[in-house]
Amino acid sequence: MLLKWWSTLLGATNIYQQQSIISTYQQEQNTLSTYNNNNIVIKINYNNNKDDNNNLLKIINKNNMDIWDYQTNTITVMTNKNQLNELSSSYNIEELLSNKELKNAIKIPDIKQKTNLSIINEDIYFFKDYQPLSIITSWMELLSSLYSNHTFLINIGKSYENRNIKGFKIGNDENKKTIIIMGGTHSREWISISTINYIAYNLITLYEKDEEINKMINNFNFIIIPTINPDGYLYTWENDRLWRKNRQSTHIDYCTGIDLDKSFPFQWKLSNNDPCSESFSGLLPNQGYESNQLINFIQNLQKNTTIVGIIDLHAYSQQILYPFGYNCHDIPPSLENLEELAIGLSKSIRLQSNHIYISKQACKGNIIDNLGGSSLDWFYHDANIKYSYQIKLRDRGAYGFLLPKEHIIPTGKEIFNSILYFGKYLNGDFEF
């Protein structure tokens, strides 16, 4: 059966190849043209005081630098070499990705080479590399048909460009509580999508074969959403590998997209009034098209079930974040529980792979005092999902959003182990 499945999937891949290979070269040129010979990725060290922060933010915003990550005392950006003089005069700068490394990493994947891979087994092929949207969709359809007793293909809503936002529902008892696992909010974070697929694959295929999985699925329904931003994800394959936002129009014709994570209505803030910015949150709360679809889906779901937990996968920096993100002054009522479970999730990852994921409140380490709310805060506060987390996956910055495919399975394994821990904790298995 599995051999037939993979033969069918390879057939779907070949169709995608026929449709896409003609334009692959042009797509690669479009992608590379976005990043000229002067673009590099750097880490900036700063003093983390108000004046220093404000000065650094002015430089970043003025030059429209693309923020990749921020920690206490450091911020990582993609910028132009010509802009380094202004930064280096005041800050200590470390180059993370040279222009050559950056250009090599953002090339469109060689689809022809992908389709020539031999079938070894089901674990190897699909998770050997990152997969385009059309192949993920075909894979989801086949998986749900093969395991139809407990797996159902569902539609979360529509994207701005009218694509279905597909997900799995695992479990068929409407009276059970529900756990949501999602990713792909930011389209360039490919590792989040592959990890969601790895989690789904193991939950679906190991049911009735593994006692621990049986217990999880017998106790909870799982809603698993590989990407709520299919338009953006497709765009990273066909035009711009580092595209972050969705693809909806804005009030300026040549500036497309909204940061879906920052468009949720709870404690919404206009993060940047420039719609060309990667962090543009819209001009109004809840303006992000796909985030609005997700809100409606969750609210409708809650009419029939209790959502007890949600994990939203992102990249990168290896962190487990819990509410609140908009500031550190307002204390979540269940802070102690959130901290306890976050520490447990971190430990479960370390025991599986020896990789360290830092657990902390999402507001800590932000260069901006009031960053505004995010999906994480909305899940916890407005949707009243007690255990709401955002997990930032590998790595710590060596590759950032351009994590090599060799990390797909190791990342999947460590996060799947944390999902098992998450289910045990919510089921009360650790109560004394």
Domain annotation covers residue 250: yes
Domain annotation covers residue 214: yes
What CA–CA distance (Å, rounded) separates 156 from 297? 6
Domain annotation covers residue 4: no
For residue 310, the domain's CATH number is: 3.40.630.10
- Note whether 146 and 79 are same-domain residues: no
Distances (CA, A) of 4 to 1, 7, 11, 123: 5, 5, 11, 15
Q: Name the CA radius of gyration of the chain, rounded.
A: 21
**Residue type (1 letter), 394:** R
DSSP 116: T
- Note whether 61 and 132 are same-domain residues: no
- Note whether 60 and 132 are same-domain residues: no
Domain annotation covers residue 14: no
- Note whether 176 and 65 are same-domain residues: no
- Note whether 123 and 76 are same-domain residues: no
- Note whether 99 and 248 are same-domain residues: no
Of 89, 105, 121, which closes a domain?
Answer: 105
Domain annotation covers residue 416: yes
Q: What is the mean pLDDT of the chain?
A: 87
Torsion of CA 173, 175, 179, 182, to 10 degrees: 60
- Note whether 61 and 182 are same-domain residues: no
- Note whether 343 and 408 are same-domain residues: yes
Provide the domain limits for residue 58: 39-105
- Note whether 221 and 87 are same-domain residues: no
- Note whether 312 and 406 are same-domain residues: yes
Residue 110 confidence (pLDDT): 54
Of 69, 85, 105, which closes a domain?
Answer: 105
Residue 13 confidence (pLDDT): 46
Domain annotation covers residue 288: yes
Domain count, the chain: 2
Asked whether the whole model's pTM tops 0.85, one would answer yes
Pairing verdict, β 307-315 and 387-393: parallel
Of 105, 128, 156, which closes a domain?
Answer: 105
Residue 36 confidence (pLDDT): 58
What CA–CA distance (Å, rounded) separates 397 from 403? 9
Element (H, E) at 167: strand 164-170
DSSP 261: G
Domain annotation covers residue 7: no
What CA–CA distance (Å, rounded) separates 389 from 125? 30
Q: Give the percent of the chain with pLDDT over 90.
A: 66
Q: Residues of 342-360 as b/e, b for ≥16 C-beta within 10 angstroms? A: bebbbebbeebbebebbbe
392: nearest Cα among 338, 427, 349: 349
Domain annotation covers residue 16: no
pLDDT tens, per residue, the chain with 432 residues = 555 555 555 554 444 444 443 334 344 444 444 555 688 899 998 877 777 778 888 888 888 888 899 887 888 999 888 888 888 888 888 888 877 777 776 765 654 444 433 333 445 589 999 999 999 999 999 999 999 999 999 999 999 999 999 999 999 888 899 999 999 999 999 999 999 999 999 999 999 999 999 999 999 999 999 999 999 999 999 999 999 999 999 999 999 999 999 999 999 998 778 899 999 999 999 999 999 999 999 999 999 999 999 999 999 999 999 999 999 999 999 999 999 999 999 999 999 999 999 999 999 877 665 678 999 999 999 999 999 999 999 999 989 999 999 999 999 999 999 999 999 999 998 764
For residue 81, the domain's CATH number is: 3.30.70
- Note whether 255 and 279 are same-domain residues: yes
What CA–CA distance (Å, rounded) separates 46 from 52? 7
- Note whether 73 and 156 are same-domain residues: no
